[in-house]
Amino acid sequence: MLIDEIREDTANVFLNPHSSTEDREEAHHIIRALAKIEDRMAVILTDEAMFDRQQRRSAPWKRLMN
């Protein structure tokens, strides 16, 4: 997955003893941003699953009217 590859590349910055302070700070910001993106994606997927479940439980004629 793309996010996992970016996270791995970014983690390598922390493991490299020759990386600069600026590089490590940027890597830290990237890791935090990826976490926020993943959290937001999880919320969206959960909301969509709940919406789909609610739609399945509604009366069939109500679904046809939408």
Domain limits for position 34:
2-65
Res 55: pLDDT = 81
Number of domains comprising the chain:
1
Distance CA 2, CA 8 (A): 10
What's the half-sphere exposure (Cβ side, CA atoms, 13 Å) at 24? 8
Predicted TM-score (pTM) of the model is: 0.71
**pLDDT single digits (tens) 12-62:** 999 999 999 999 999 999 999 999 999 999 999 999 999 888 888 765 555
Q: Would you say residue 66 has pLDDT above 70?
A: no
Q: What type of residue is 22?
A: E
Rg (CA), the chain: 20
Q: How many CB atoms lie within 10 A of CB 35?
A: 12
Res 57: pLDDT = 77
Burial of residue 13 (number of CB atoms within 10 Å: 0-12, 13-18, 19+)? middle
